Amino acid sequence: MSKNVLQLKNFRPSRTRSIKRQSATHILIACMPKSGSTFLSDVISELPQFIRAELVPAAGRREQELDEFCLQQVDGLSYVAQVHVRDSEWTAEMSRDYGLKTVVLVRSLLDIVVSLRDHLRRETHIWPNFHAEAHHAQMDDAALELMIARLAMPWFVNFYMGWRQRGDALMIAYESLIHDPNRTVREILAFAGEAVDSSEVRTAVARVCERGQSRLNVGVAGRGASLRPKTIHTILDLLEAYPEADNDPYITAVRAQAAQVLAGTPAPAPRPPSLAVAPDPVGSSWRWLSGNARRLMARRVAPALLVALALLYWFWPGDLIPDASASGYVDDAVVGVVLSVMAGRMTRYKFKKPGGRLRRGRPLTA
């Protein structure tokens, strides 16, 4: 585990005072299980300006959804957090409200089946993506892999099909991460707007590799080459439900690997040169503005108007108590303080959902 880990149950403001910054960077690694996310988040948290935060209150069989209380506690800190979270309206809302830079980490579905099989036997059978019992670890490879393909892979397909439509997320392949972790981490930091020296990244990668505690498993692509044809066809059948994704680079790579295995010429899973979709600057800006208009009004425009009103009242000579009198500025001070406090509190208000009421977040400050 990385040295810079923030667990809410152990959180103390004094412990994170040195990494609290005026402009914090929040990196969310929305990841498939067994996609190298622990390794990636450990590397980023090794950088001096980042900690590793937990954005869900519990794991186990619980579906991992972003928790607003957890987000509030670390809002003023620069962090990286790995969460097996699917895209949803709630995820998008939390991402907007708390400034999350989302990196979507994916891996070949065929390789994940094998990696999940090993994890179930060596570590735990408790997963949020499908229900397994301890006795399933005793099944033979073929039966266990088929079970995983039938029960777990629908979640993975849903995960990808949801995130592929988010134009503001960076898509990263596991195969790219293990092929060149230094370059991949630099790409993620650039996407998040962080200027980090290449030597710092190399040092962070080296430290994590030396510790060997990030559960990178075998750390190779192409493990799905050992799967039986029935298991592979089960996975391909799931993809048939989405013909609109036939030309998607990730779906194309999975199908290409499956075809190689079925043909008896297995090769490592092809590594797409880039899974990221280049955003449309005009379209992205308009979508961001339309989705954040009310939040900007509540958090920016309204506080600015309140401050402006306080200043106008201060300079208005004929207010409740004329400024020319002995106590003429008492009311000015009171009104100024009240309006300033209101303005400060408004910067933390947000809409729960379209048409909903404003609610106030309470981030923990150091």
CB 102 within 8 A of CB 95: yes
Q: Where are the domains of the chain?
A: 5-262, 284-360
Report the alpha-carbon distance of residue 276 to residue 295 in Å, rounded: 28
Between residues 114 and 195, the one the model is more confident about:
114
Instruction: Tell me the pLDDT tens digit for each residue of 99-157.
Output: 899 999 999 999 999 999 998 888 888 888 888 888 988 889 999 999 999 999 999 99
Global model pTM greater than 0.75 = no
Tell the burial category of 123 from Cβ atoms under 10 Å away from its Cβ (0-12, 13-18, 19+): exposed
**What's the rounded Cα separation, in Å, for the pair 243 and 246?**
5
At 81, the amino acid letter reads: A
Q: Could you report the per-residue pLDDT of 27-39, keeping only the tens digit for each?
A: 999 999 999 999 9
| Residue 96: half-sphere exposure toward Cβ, Cα within 13 Å | 22
Determine the Cα angle at 281 with ends 277 and 285, to 5°: 115
- Please give the C-alpha separations between residue 11 and each of 8, 188, 341, in angstroms, as whole numbers: 5, 27, 27
CATH topology of domain 5-262: Rossmann fold (3.40.50)
Specify the higher pLDDT residue, 208 or 13: 208
Confidence of residue 317 (pLDDT cuts 50, 70, 90): confident
Of 280, 312, 337, 78, give the one whose Cα is nearest residue 194: 78
Radius of gyration of the chain (CA): 25
pLDDT tops 70 at residue 282: no
